[in-house]
């Protein structure tokens, strides 16, 4: 009986360890620890399970377009051609991506040979505790590399989070700081800068009417964002 009991206990322990590793318990505990200890830059883009899948898909497409959208889930979670009423837009957003990942997959953008690349990134850097300095360096490197390839970068503000999102006020302080840094990058590199927050937020908080979880936009939120882009493109095409 004692041997059977030991076997059962070992089996149960193995199951618990497997669930811990396979589930998101490890990621949650890891991120919690990094945040509490103020450890920076432990997360990297290769930890994103969607990264390789999506980048491989992007590189397999033989398509050219005037406009490329580069970003994370905020960019990925809409159909830009339909939203903008165009046929010359490609979506290169990857859910969970950080600016380091975007910098390392610019080939996805260059291959399309767009005239404009609309960039939005940085919220996941904040969530995963990537340092301000590294995030800003990545965004500036993205900007410079796009310009070297003859692509016009359009830098967009990171959208503030809403009240229902965890640590909303703390995160939005960091968002505001990054947005100021992005604005400086745009000015230094003579790039276009779109402040999307003007239409979506109030007093530094994403309006409830434009989000379903305090972070991501709903259909009405994307309409507002789409209007900003459409107005910009019209101004450039006149």
Of the pLDDT bands very low, low, confident and very high (cuts 50, 70, 90), residue 109 is: very high
Predicted local confidence at residue 33, as pLDDT = 38
The pLDDT of residue 51 is above 50: yes
Q: Give per-residue pLDDT as tens, 156-197.
A: 999 999 999 999 999 999 999 999 999 999 999 999 999 999
Which fold, 47-237?
Answer: Rossmann fold (3.40.50)
User: What is the full DSSP assignment across the chain?
Assistant: -HHHHHHHHHHHHHHHHHHHHHSSHHHHHHHHHHHHHT--S---GGG-TTHHHHHHHHHH-----SEEEEESHHHHTS-HHHHHT-SSEEEEE-TT--HHHHHTTTHHHHTT--SEEEEE--HHHHHTT--HHHHHHHHHHHHHHHHHTT-EEEEEPPPPPBTTSTTHHHHHHHHHHHHHHHHHHHHHTT-EEE-THHHHEETTEE-GGGBSSSSSB-HHHHHHHHHHHHHHHHHHH-
Residues of the chain with pLDDT > 90, as a percent, come to 81
pLDDT in tens, 13-41: 554 445 444 554 444 444 443 443 344 55
């Amino acid at each position: 009986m004692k041997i059977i009991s030991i076997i059962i206990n070992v089996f149960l322990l193995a199951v618990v360890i497997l669930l811990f590793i396979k589930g998101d318990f490890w990621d949650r505990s890891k991120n919690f620890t990094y945040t509490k200890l103020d450890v920076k830059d432990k997360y990297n883009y290769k930890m994103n399970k969607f990264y390789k899948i999506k980048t491989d898909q992007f590189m397999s497409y033989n398509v050219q377009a005037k406009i490329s959208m580069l970003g994370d889930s905020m960019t990925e979670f809409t159909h830009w051609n339909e939203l903008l009423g165009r046929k010359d837009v490609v979506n290169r957003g990857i859910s969970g991506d950080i600016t380091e990942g975007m910098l390392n997959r610019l080939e996805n953008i260059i291959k399309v040979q767009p005239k404009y690349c609309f960039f939005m990134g940085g919220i996941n850097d904040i969530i995963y505790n990537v340092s301000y300095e590294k995030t800003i360096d990545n965004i500036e490197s993205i900007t410079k590399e796009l310009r070297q390839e003859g692509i016009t970068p359009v830098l967009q503000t990171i959208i503030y989070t809403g009240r229902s999102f965890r640590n909303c006020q703390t995160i939005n302080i960091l968002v505001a700081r990054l947005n100021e840094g992005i604005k400086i990058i745009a000015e230094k590199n003579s790039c276009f800068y779109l402040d999307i927050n003007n239409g979506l937020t109030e007093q530094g908080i994403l309006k409830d009417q434009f989000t379903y979880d305090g972070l991501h936009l709903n259909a009405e939120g994307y309409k507002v964002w789409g209007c900003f882009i459409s107005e910009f493109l019209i101004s450039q095409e006149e």
